[in-house]
A = this chain, B = another copy of it.
């Protein structure tokens, strides 16, 4: 029901994750004296990285574990330990978890594998773990996960051996991965890329704490600016929407990878996660709605998060490029145009000033200092200062080739770029160069982003822009129209479907159902010729293909002829179809043919769809989707996302279409779909014709399929 539409930015009922990420005390169940063992590593890591809380190894043999006195059982733990790490065989986990809950443990990380991922028996154990979490209020992360790290306090509750390779720099980015394998990889990549992390967590089988809960945790966390999410599937769409809304509200920058955009990928994801994959494009639109940047590769995931971590904002998209190799400048301009960044030229006086310094330079943007600029580092400095001062770019990329390897250049480069950063603290500055590590580290310290590949540098800035711009956020619930409730929703044929739509407020033509040619002629006389005649049958979905449509009937003779011919064609094409009569309608004015629809996503429930009609558009799959309901602004965004939007907007001398009428229809359809989510299987309005601006629109054909409601279905 409409009244059940709630703002996604509401607090979630379950307990806080603070004990998980910032525990004052940690117990390790299955603690091992061997720092190479799974039960030994977290103790080793916690000690090595200076965790300052109470560390309590639990081992039935007691004695000493890595220099710490071991407790023999959970029962010996002090009351109310914050975080218990479980490195026990799967068979021992449930009992241990119960014992922990009984001792008031607040949160638990379960490394152990052997649960839902191994089959029904494991799934049953996992279900009991879930129930325990629910009943006791003890939060459980895992099982089958790699654990949790909060670098700020040396809290390394993980057995990932990658910790031994060294930790990433400390920073304000949190990484949440459903995959442990990817989590380990990410740890190494972050260190190598110089991407500073504040926290790291892998959620494994998600018996209780889901990825979405961790996203929400970091959305609330004042020490986190950027959240990286590696998502394989979504268990609780509500929690995900909640987390994204919260992150948006708190101004966090969220970068996500979610695989499964292709058919093969989707099939693999389905088999991999065991969860319903859902329509990938719905995720896409959800991410867009909440300002999440979706990366399409691991590399661009890291590039985007790295750029986001700079804290810089790019709202206009004004990007300057300096190169010492013209061709690479051109390549970067190509990428920038593709990414719709604005490579605004320098103002003419600045161009003149640069040209006076270096007559051979290209001075517009991309600015090419040419190889000549290396011969005079004082000039190099003046040249770049002028470009930055006059260009007022939101971001500048410096492409320097491998020249910074030249020993005599290194000191001057370090000084010039350090000074530039001091003089111009505002813009995002990216160095794209091959250079000795020491020089790179020094300039990274000064706040330069280091992205070696020139094209990736531009794409990272594009991601930064996406993350800097305001996103639409949740629909404005107050603005949504009320639609009637249909206690027994049923629409056996086109006419019934259109009657429902009309009551919902979606425009239809004044049609008549007619039982015989005389009635048809009477109706046509009333409506005015030319008219359209269509067969009405619950059994014929594709009327045209069954010969059940006649258009542009000019007069009574034509109508009688069309009636007879249609009866015959339909009888032949669909001999067993029940015929409810015919539908007689006036011919609609010209307009743009659209398709409106509702589909039921297995993850997110009712999804509203708008697309261009016509075979060309269908071929290119030019549609856009949103989780219902959408407000007018959201509907307008859907329409603008269409590749063919210019056709609606008066491209090439065409009349501008009635966008308002289109938007109204989308909004009402979405509210209707949301309100009757448990009853609607799908709605297909095809075509939905949009007339010239000011003249409205009309559903010319419609199919509404209903379903049996389930218990606890989406609503």
Return the 5 tightest CB-CB contacts between A and B, nearest first.
Answer: A181-B325, A262-B337, A259-B330, A272-B326, A297-B455
A264:B343 contact, CB within 8 angstroms: yes
Q: Which residues of B contact A325 (CB under 8 A)?
A: 179, 181-182, 185
B402:A326 contact, CB within 8 angstroms: no
Contact of A371 among B181, B336, B406, B617 (CB under 8 A): B181
A187:B331 contact, CB within 8 angstroms: no
A334:B265 contact, CB within 8 angstroms: yes
Is A64 among interface residues, defined by CB-CB distance under 8 A? no
- Per the bound structure, the CA–CA distance linking A337 and B259 in Å amounts to 12
Minimum distance in angstroms from A527 CB to a CB of chain B: 26
A406:B161 contact, CB within 8 angstroms: yes
A651:B264 contact, CB within 8 angstroms: no
Q: What residue in chain B is nearest A375 (Cβ atoms)?
A: B113
Q: What residue in chain B is nearest A272 (Cβ atoms)?
A: B326
Q: A178-B327, A401-B184 are in contact. Are A364 and B268 (CB under 8 A)?
A: yes
Contact with B along A514-530 (1 / 0, CB 8 A): 00000000000000000
A620:B647 contact, CB within 8 angstroms: no
Known: A259-B333, A265-B334, A616-B647. 4 other contacts (CB 8 A): A184-B403, A264-B337, A267-B333, A545-B653
A230:B180 contact, CB within 8 angstroms: no
- Per the bound structure, the CA–CA distance linking A614 and B616 in Å amounts to 10
Minimum distance in angstroms from A44 CB to a CB of chain B: 15
- Could you name 23 residue pairs across A and B whose Cβ atoms are closer than 8 Å? A161-B405, A179-B327, A181-B401, A182-B327, A184-B401, A184-B403, A185-B401, A185-B434, A187-B402, A188-B402, A230-B327, A231-B327, A232-B330, A259-B327, A259-B328, A264-B333, A267-B364, A272-B327, A272-B329, A545-B653, A616-B647, A619-B647, A620-B620
Contact of A296 among B165, B189, B455 (CB under 8 A): B455
Contact with B along A430-461 (1 / 0, CB 8 A): 00001000000000000000000111100000
**A104-154: which residues lie under 8 A (CB-CB) from chain B?**
113, 117-119
Contact of A652 among B180, B182, B615 (CB under 8 A): B615
A616:B618 contact, CB within 8 angstroms: no
> In the assembly, how many copies of this chain are there?
2
Q: Which residues of B contact A402 (CB under 8 A)?
A: 162, 165, 184-185, 187-189
Contact of A401 among B182, B267, B334 (CB under 8 A): B182
Is A348 among interface residues, defined by CB-CB distance under 8 A? no
Is A338 among interface residues, defined by CB-CB distance under 8 A? yes
B619:A257 contact, CB within 8 angstroms: no
Max count, chain B CB within 10 A of own CB: residue among A165, A182, A644, A646: A182
Minimum distance in angstroms from A359 CB to a CB of chain B: 8
Q: Which residues of B contact A267 (CB under 8 A)?
A: 333, 364
Q: Which residues of B contact A366 (CB under 8 A)?
A: 268
A268:B336 contact, CB within 8 angstroms: no
Is A91 among interface residues, defined by CB-CB distance under 8 A? no
- Per the bound structure, the CA–CA distance linking A260 and B327 in Å amounts to 8
Contact of A268 among B271, B362, B403, B615 (CB under 8 A): B362
Q: What residue in chain B is nearest A614 (Cβ atoms)?
A: B616
Is A6 among interface residues, defined by CB-CB distance under 8 A? no
A334:B453 contact, CB within 8 angstroms: no
Q: Which residues of B contact A545 (CB under 8 A)?
A: 653
Q: A331-B259, A343-B264 are in contact. Are A372 and B113 (CB under 8 A)?
A: yes
Is A360 among interface residues, defined by CB-CB distance under 8 A? yes
A334:B178 contact, CB within 8 angstroms: no
Is A14 among interface residues, defined by CB-CB distance under 8 A? no
Minimum distance in angstroms from A220 CB to a CB of chain B: 26
Q: What residue in chain B is nearest A327 (Cβ atoms)?
A: B232
- Per the bound structure, the CA–CA distance linking A85 and B403 in Å amounts to 22
Q: What residue in chain B is nearest A182 (Cβ atoms)?
A: B325
- Per the bound structure, the CA–CA distance linking A327 and B654 in Å amounts to 46
Q: Which residues of B contact A617 (CB under 8 A)?
A: 616
A188:B434 contact, CB within 8 angstroms: yes
- Per the bound structure, the CA–CA distance linking A296 and B178 in Å amounts to 32
A644:B618 contact, CB within 8 angstroms: no
Is A219 among interface residues, defined by CB-CB distance under 8 A? no
Contact with B along A364-392 (1 / 0, CB 8 A): 10101011100000000000000000000
Is A535 among interface residues, defined by CB-CB distance under 8 A? no
Contact of A272 among B368, B456, B616 (CB under 8 A): B368
Q: Which residues of B contact A330 (CB under 8 A)?
A: 232, 259-260, 265, 268-269, 272
Is A7 among interface residues, defined by CB-CB distance under 8 A? no
Is A261 among interface residues, defined by CB-CB distance under 8 A? yes
Is A174 among interface residues, defined by CB-CB distance under 8 A? no
**A471-499: which residues lie under 8 A (CB-CB) from chain B?**
none
Q: Which residues of B contact A298 (CB under 8 A)?
A: 328, 331, 453-455
Minimum distance in angstroms from A114 CB to a CB of chain B: 10
- Per the bound structure, the CA–CA distance linking A434 and B652 in Å amounts to 53
Contact of A162 among B119, B230, B268, B405 (CB under 8 A): B405
Is A512 among interface residues, defined by CB-CB distance under 8 A? no
Is A273 among interface residues, defined by CB-CB distance under 8 A? yes
Q: Which residues of B contact A273 (CB under 8 A)?
A: 326
Contact with B along A241-263 (1 / 0, CB 8 A): 00000000000000001011111
Is A299 among interface residues, defined by CB-CB distance under 8 A? yes
Q: What residue in chain B is nearest A436 (Cβ atoms)?
A: B165
Is A197 among interface residues, defined by CB-CB distance under 8 A? no
Max count, chain B CB within 10 A of own CB: residue among A330, A334, A614, A652: A330
Is A346 among interface residues, defined by CB-CB distance under 8 A? no
Is A318 among interface residues, defined by CB-CB distance under 8 A? no
Minimum distance in angstroms from A238 CB to a CB of chain B: 22
Is A96 among interface residues, defined by CB-CB distance under 8 A? no
A646:B620 contact, CB within 8 angstroms: no
Q: What residue in chain B is nearest A372 (Cβ atoms)?
A: B113
Max count, chain B CB within 10 A of own CB: residue among A181, A261, A617, A647: A181
Q: A165-B405, A651-B615 are in contact. Are A335 and B180 (CB under 8 A)?
A: no
Minimum distance in angstroms from A150 CB to a CB of chain B: 21
- Per the bound structure, the CA–CA distance linking A333 and B280 in Å amounts to 14
Q: Which residues of B contact A434 (CB under 8 A)?
A: 185, 188-189, 192
Is A585 among interface residues, defined by CB-CB distance under 8 A? no
Q: What residue in chain B is nearest A233 (Cβ atoms)?
A: B327
Is A643 among interface residues, defined by CB-CB distance under 8 A? yes
Q: What residue in chain B is nearest A280 (Cβ atoms)?
A: B334
Q: Which residues of B contact A296 (CB under 8 A)?
A: 334-335, 455
